[in-house]
Structure 1
């Protein structure tokens, strides 16, 4: 289960084309997020030459952008709980 902070209004995942732990985390977590939060916009973009990144839009349009290349699964989950 992935508990999402209620202040989050949108999540964007920017994935590199190469396989990575981040990509597997997103593919595993996305169905759970959409099941628990069906109206939360979750965008997944796979791009060439990008760093693995999570962009979280909060209330009043505030965005938090984190490069997560070396994050563990626990750290990624924590980012979604406490942006």
Structure 2
């Protein structure tokens, strides 16, 4: 089943470290689920930002500049997918 993102969302940003153990779940999420989510939402902006040593987070931007973030430290790819589904 394809994951359709909420029309209230304007952008998703995934911040992660390329090498840290805390970001492993975020890296695995990208490998396992990014293509499926992007194919289901081809025009929706999903940004992946890699930076050495940062805490992995998922940022969701809504209308009028409202943003929320979710800490992804040591989360499994399925946990991250659940967070995305809940947005």
- The two structures have a TM-score, normalised by structure 2, of 0.81
Shift of 1:3: 4.0
**CA root-mean-square deviation:** 1.7
Aligned residues: 83
Higher helix share: 2
Structure 1 spans left out of the alignment, 5+ residues = none
Shift of 1:31: 1.0
Shift of 1:71: 2.1
Structure 2 spans left out of the alignment, 5+ residues = none
- The two structures have a TM-score, normalised by structure 1, of 0.84
Change (3 A) 1:81 1:6: farther
